[in-house]
Amino acid sequence: MLLVVETIGIDVGGTKVLGVALDPSCPDVVRAEQRVPTPEGGDGLVDTLLALVVGLSAPAARVGVGVPGLVDRQGTLRMGPHLRRLHDVPLAEVLTQRSGRLTVVDNDANCHAVAEQAAGSARGYDEALVVTLGTGIGAGIITGGRLLRGANGFAGEPGHMVVDPNGPPCPCGKRGCWERFASGTGFARLGRDAAYGGRLDGAVERAGGDPEALRGEHVTAAARAGDAEALTVVGQLAHWIALGLANLVNVLDPAVIVIGGGLVEAADLLLPEVQMRFSDLVMAGDRRPAVPIVAAALGDRAGAIGAALLAAEGG
Amino acid sequence: MLLVVETIGIDVGGTKVLGVALDPSCPDVVRAEQRVPTPEGGDGLVDTLLALVVGLSAPAARVGVGVPGLVDRQGTLRMGPHLRRLHDVPLAEVLTQRSGRLTVVDNDANCHAVAEQAAGSARGYDEALVVTLGTGIGAGIITGGRLLRGANGFAGEPGHMVVDPNGPPCPCGKRGCWERFASGTGFARLGRDAAYGGRLDGAVERAGGDPEALRGEHVTAAARAGDAEALTVVGQLAHWIALGLANLVNVLDPAVIVIGGGLVEAADLLLPEVQMRFSDLVMAGDRRPAVPIVAAALGDRAGAIGAALLAAEGG
């Protein structure tokens, strides 16, 4: 891909907004970057984004922005749980007008997928599934070498796929959505359930003795130290991740699955367990080519890099 | 699409094989058709197919064949529950060589989707999901106006998406696959469960008084006659269909869902119930455009017509 003009990419996360400027002659080299806190609820986010754009780019630049939630083909956030005050704001249009830079807006997991395909773990694959396991779950689907966007731009939201109608309630109003089990939040819940059941003392100790304070990283640390109960909880998490991935592979048949998001920090512990369970859960696992399940390569800059690549492509 | 040569399409079903010859100048007009029983397990199926091809076409014809199961991009059936003796036979190659006609082989639900998009209920849509609810569940996914095939040709198998890990066992080895609930088989199971619970007398009477003989059509007939207990079971089936469709729409974001397969005979009863429940189950149902859920238009010829269209396109 030839970047003819400077491109800026911005990833709006739950706690921080990250902006990167890419080297025009080499799309996977970040020339400059800047981080600021995400304003609560989305209030003032447009001003935050404009300040980042102006700070990072010259007036002729192109800008891409990734936001969590349902973003339509015109770059309007239709639904984003953490950015309610931005619902139905025509973000791409407003940012283009106010910054003077041509701006595209897309779903953050779509941006992750574009970056991992261009310069990360999905490089060279025309059929790839990129799944971000963080606070929630996002996905970007690459098919025929391009993003699958769907009719409205809303494709790739497997976090609210129901995988257990008797499972825990989800803020979306349903029960047993995949992200209740297989996200960072789900990991903490599995940990707390085990802790209240009197297991998982090693991890609870790491959380200061309070099961309510238990997070996935405490379980991971205990598991790395060889704690058998913590390893059991990691296995439960791996099972739920594998179950959802198998559902998706039955539908999409990707050649590779790339896992990004916060849980990727436990990839060394988690992914071998996921891979093992996946083969039993996917349809005809013994009669289809193996699907490698690998960690994302670009870390927490993936979303911003992908947003910049989409801007370069879409202008 | 211009059909320059005669094309034949064949749909291999669980009980019968249907062959059609399309009019070369008008792809949705069936010029001739022939039906024969499906040989048990797939033994002798190649000879059956050859006889149909020779009976229906001239030597220059192109041939398309749709079969249930995982068909790879070379036209080999890798896994088909009802056609075990055909596993790993390079069907497209064998049929091309023995018939002298260029033959393509694809998954039967893919063929359904191609036909419904060309001449049925998905006409005019570039983003469409065609789901066949029969003995099992199949799907054909249209995105960007074309079939989504995936890396191996195995895309579109949502029947073994797990929707309830505590649900009934599935022959695939897992529990709670979507097709345990939302297929014709699932409908009969929901009916039998209700019957053994002492409900559903009106439907059981229609099955000759034997709950074991109860099929979906008995429940449907009772429901059409206004039987409240039968209507409750239809509502349960509608719920499970809607739940799986919502999972798929979260991932694929189609503009339309077309329902084919045996259950389409109850479309008038079923689809309004499915549509109502779907809106509550899909992510952000109140903030996205409605997704119409409509009955397939081409009936039991859809698979054969679609196979012929794929042959015309692929030669």
Task: Kindly report, residue by residue over A224-280, the tens digit of the pLDDT.
Answer: 999 999 999 999 999 999 999 999 999 999 999 999 999 999 999 999 999 999 999
Identify residue B283 by its one-letter amino acid code.
M
Mutant choice from B126, B180, B283 vs A, greatest count of A C-beta within 10 A: B283
**According to the model, what pLDDT value does residue B315 have?**
43
**According to the model, what pLDDT value does residue A27 have?**
67
Report chain B residues whose CB lies below 8 A from the CB of A73: none
Percent over 70 (pLDDT), chain A? 98
Report chain B residues whose CB lies below 8 A from the CB of A150: 127, 143, 252-254
Q: Does A32 have pLDDT greater than 50?
A: yes
Q: Where are the alpha helices (DSSP H) in chain B?
A: 45-56, 91-99, 108-119, 179-182, 184-196, 201-206, 216-224, 228-252, 267-281, 302-314
* Residue of chain A whose alpha carbon sits nearest to that of B77: A287
Backbone torsions φ then ψ of A169, nearest 5 degrees:
-65, 150
Mutant choice from B253, B256, B257, B291 vs A, greatest count of A C-beta within 10 A: B253
The C-alpha of A285 sits at a distance from chain B's nearest C-alpha, in angstroms, of 10
Q: Does A4 have pLDDT greater than 60?
A: no
Q: At B169, which helix (H) or strand (E)? A: none
Report chain B residues whose CB lies below 8 A from the CB of A78: 284, 287-288
Quick one: average pLDDT of B87-100? 95
**According to the model, what pLDDT value does residue A234 have?**
98
Output the CA angle A119-A121-A125, nearest 5 degrees.
85
Q: Among B79-88, B108-117, B162-171, B272-281, which is the least confidently predicted range? A: B79-88
How many angstroms separate the CA atoms of A163 and A161, rounded?
Answer: 6
| ipTM given for this complex | 0.96
Quick one: average pLDDT of B137-147? 97
Mutant choice from A283, A288, A291 vs B, greatest count of B C-beta within 10 A: A283
Tell me whether residues B162 and A247 touch, CB distance under 8 A. Answer: yes
How many angstroms separate the CA atoms of B91 and B48, rounded?
Answer: 13
Contact, B206 vs B221, CB < 8 A? yes
Instruction: Using pLDDT thresholds of 50, 70 and 90, give the confidence band for residue B262.
Output: very high
Give how far Cα A3 sits from Cα of A6, A29, A62, A308, A309, Å.
Answer: 7, 12, 10, 10, 8
* Residue of chain B whose alpha carbon sits nearest to that of A291: B151
Neighbours of B202 (CB within 10 A): 18
The C-alpha of A274 sits at a distance from chain B's nearest C-alpha, in angstroms, of 16
Domain covering B7-116+300-314, topology: Nucleotidyltransferase; domain 5 (3.30.420)
Report chain A residues whose CB lies below 8 A from the CB of B253: 149-156
**According to the model, what pLDDT value does residue A85 have?**
86
The C-alpha of B87 sits at a distance from chain A's nearest C-alpha, in angstroms, of 10
User: Looking at residue B290, what DSSP letter applies?
Assistant: -
Instruction: Using pLDDT thresholds of 50, 70 and 90, give the confidence band for residue B58.
Output: confident
Dihedral angle over CA of A79, A85, A91, A96, nearest 10: -170
Confirm whether pTM is higher than 0.90.
yes
* Mean pLDDT of the residues in chain A: 94
CB-based burial of residue B79 (10 Å sphere; 0-12 exposed, 13-18 middle, 19+ buried)? buried
Tell me whether residues B163 and A166 touch, CB distance under 8 A. Answer: no
User: Looking at residue A162, what DSSP letter applies?
Assistant: B
pLDDT in tens, A122-137: 999 999 999 999 999 9
**According to the model, what pLDDT value does residue B39 have?**
87
Q: Does A45 have pLDDT greater than 70?
A: yes
CB-based burial of residue B236 (10 Å sphere; 0-12 exposed, 13-18 middle, 19+ buried)? middle
Tell me whether residues B164 and A164 touch, CB distance under 8 A. Answer: yes
CATH 3.30.420.40 domain position(s) in chain B: 7-116+300-314, 124-296
Mutant choice from B86, B142, B252 vs A, greatest count of A C-beta within 10 A: B252
**According to the model, what pLDDT value does residue B164 have?**
98
Identify residue B263 by its one-letter amino acid code.
L
The C-alpha of A37 sits at a distance from chain B's nearest C-alpha, in angstroms, of 27
Q: Does B314 have pLDDT greater than 80?
A: no
**According to the model, what pLDDT value does residue B3 have?**
47
Spell out the long-range contacts of B209-216 with Cβ–Cβ below 8 A and sequence spacing 24 or more: B214/B188, B215/B184, B215/B187, B215/B188, B215/B191, B216/B184, B216/B187, B216/B188, B216/B191, B216/B262, B216/B263, B216/B266
How many angstroms separate the CA atoms of A130 and A118, rounded?
Answer: 12
Residues near A180 by beta carbon (within 8 Å), at least 6 away in sequence: A167, A168, A169, A170, A186, A189
User: Looking at residue A125, what DSSP letter applies?
Assistant: -
Report chain B residues whose CB lies below 8 A from the CB of A293: none
Give how far Cα B259 sits from Cα of B14, B130, B140, B185, B288, Å.
Answer: 19, 6, 11, 16, 21
Output the CA angle A116-A120-A122, nearest 5 degrees.
65
How many angstroms separate the CA atoms of B43 and B40, rounded?
Answer: 6
Identify residue A310 by its one-letter amino acid code.
L
* Residue of chain B whose alpha carbon sits nearest to that of A87: B287
Domain covering A124-296, topology: Nucleotidyltransferase; domain 5 (3.30.420)
Neighbours of B41 (CB within 10 A): 12
Q: Does A198 have pLDDT greater than 90?
A: no
pLDDT in tens, A84-139: 888 999 999 999 999 999 999 999 999 999 999 999 999 999 999 999 999 999 99
Report chain A residues whose CB lies below 8 A from the CB of B157: 250-251, 283
How many angstroms separate the CA atoms of A193 and A20, rounded?
Answer: 40
Tell me whether residues A251 and B172 touch, CB distance under 8 A. Answer: no
The C-alpha of B173 sits at a distance from chain A's nearest C-alpha, in angstroms, of 9
Tell me whether residues A251 and B158 touch, CB distance under 8 A. Answer: yes
